[in-house]
A and B are shown apart, each in its own frame.
Chain A
Amino acid sequence: MAKTIVVLSGKGGVGKTTVSSSLAYLYSKDGTGIVAVDADVDAPDLEYFLGGGKLVKQVSIETSDKAFIDPSKCIGCGRCVEVCIYGALTMHGGKAKVEKIMCEGCGSCMYVCPTDAVSLEKHSGGLITVKETRYGFKIVTGRISLGEHNSGKMVSVARTEAYKIAQAESLDVIVVDGAPGIGCPIIASITGADYVVAVVEPTKLSYQGLTRLLEVVEHFKIRAGIVINKYDISDEWTGRITAYTMSKGYQLLGQIPLSHEVVEAMSQMVPPPEYNPRSKVSKSITGIYREIRRVIEA
């Protein structure tokens, strides 16, 4: 069965996509059968790095129901406004109105309405696409509609799609690029996964994000290793993160130096190890990839 590796960080902008695109590239270069998943469904960017081209499949996903109010039946009693814990209902000119992007489709307003003015309607909350990357393997991208809340479900659907591809094509590895944060979409991306790669930079904020992320990872009992990105910007925080990693019994997978080359590779939209395999950054990322590979196979 294919192994699932999830790249996460807690804080945003520390290098998740840089690491996950490089991992996917290096795995495929070594001839491993892989499929990539972009589980940052709010702002999916991984396919840009991997050169997502030919569209293989596209499915629209109904993530939720939305409340719909029939104004001819609404008597303006306001009971729906009172019961809505999401603040999705307001009164306008004596009638209830639904702010669609706030509605979670729980149905409480429908149950409480004395005149049956509320109904639930299926709502297309997002899009799953499967594309072929420039390296030949496939990438599954989940993309959620504007302001939608049900990102966890989109992540699950995207992962299921990748799992089906892995089964059908007998692939060995699924690389998942996660979202920032520690909430619903992150929980959906790590449940049942084999390994979490936690990317951190040596700053107080990223360290705080890491500790909160690892609490979630521990909660779900997933194995994890740590990558310190831009490790040379602070000896103090690199030291603290290293000590924390050791004390918690996680593996330090490696360190990536600060380099403008990452920015250059990004503007060219290629993973750093392809942009210049001989650079210090690429060498450290390749070392991290080998370490992950060893740990996963062990």
Chain B
Amino acid sequence: MKIAVTGGKGGVGKSTIASALIRHYSEAGRILAADLDVDNPCLSSMLNMNRPYKVEDAETFKPSIVAAKCIGCHKCVDACEEHALYGLEGSAPTLYDQLCSGCGACKLVCPANAIEDDRKVLGQISWYNRGNITLIEGRITPGEARSPIVARQTALAADKEYSTGVYKHLIIDTMPGVANPVAQALLIAEKVVAVTEPTLLGIHDIMLTLELSDYLGKTVGIVINKADISREHLIKLRKICAEKDVKIIVEIPYSRDILFTSVSQPPGDELKAYVRRIASWLKNTKP
């Protein structure tokens, strides 16, 4: 089964739940994990994995303009939606590297075959292993902006690895928000666990997550973390879930123990019990 853990707002406990689920499943078989929070991947730290056994560059196309072949027509300049190519008509254009998205439109429109393939490295995809768990982690290089591409390549790598059939489950941890990198994760998942907290911000952001999952046609279950920090907002959250016919799988109370436990430690018995309930929901719910 392919499961995405998401939730909208940052710091609600996405990675805590994802890593606890991964540890839970790994007790009974081989598990594949994917960290698509490419801006700030956390799972390797949380699963106590220190050194990747394989690192690949996440890279994209960038044009290399062969001045000798260029006829100066500037069709590529007009085609570039990112305005990454500029210069005087009649001469070969210059590439502003940072704006290039690597889409390849320039190469497709060039009538003189003057554009050749060059590569631009955006980040790394790292492979870790510990016991029954294999982790594929996307990590963008600080200063690079194109998180969606790194997230997509990580998602594709994970999907391909999962298709080998040696893993029982694939668990994907996502970025906060509902932008493209989150959509990339939800797209390959069969079921979605959305983590939130009873605050106005948590409610606001979980609504966006539900909208996105609905758009993508995914089955969602909600985990309310820190459920006891506000009675008023907890009631609101329950009401919203009832109205939208979305299942609240568990409500986990705020725990100072979690706060003071090192992130690399396995979850305590209390959290383990909640995670078993999440796993049982995942098992008994149709995609």
Contacts and interface: CB of A to CB of B under 8 A. Distances in A.
Interface in A26-45: 40, 42-43, 45
B60 interface: yes
6 contacts: A86-B152, A107-B105, A108-B104, A183-B144, A187-B145, A205-B40
Interface in A99-117: 99, 101-102, 104-108, 111-112
Nearest to A43: B205
A144 B179 CA distance: 8
B201 A85 contact: no
Interface of B: 8-12, 15, 38-40, 42, 45-46, 60-61, 79, 81-82, 101-105, 108-109, 140, 142-149, 152, 156, 175-180, 182-184, 187, 199-201, 204-205, 208, 211-212, 215, 229-230, 232-233, 259-260, 262-264
Interface of A: 9-14, 17, 40, 42-43, 45, 48, 64-65, 83, 85-87, 99, 101-102, 104-108, 111-112, 144, 146-149, 151-152, 179-184, 186-187, 203-205, 208-209, 212-213, 215-216, 219-220, 233-234, 263, 266-267, 269
A13 B143 contact: no
A153 to B, nearest CB: 11
A85 B104 CA distance: 9
Given A85-B102, A85-B104, A111-B108, A146 B230 contact: no
A12 B176 contact: yes
A105 B39 CA distance: 23
A205 B263 contact: yes
Nearest to B254: A263
B230 A147 contact: no
B103 A267 contact: no
Contact of B60 (A9, A85, A204, A208): A85
B240 to A, nearest CB: 16
A213 B39 CA distance: 9
Contact of A147 (B101, B215, B229, B263): B215
Given A42-B179, A212-B39, A203 B199 contact: no
B36 to A, nearest CB: 12
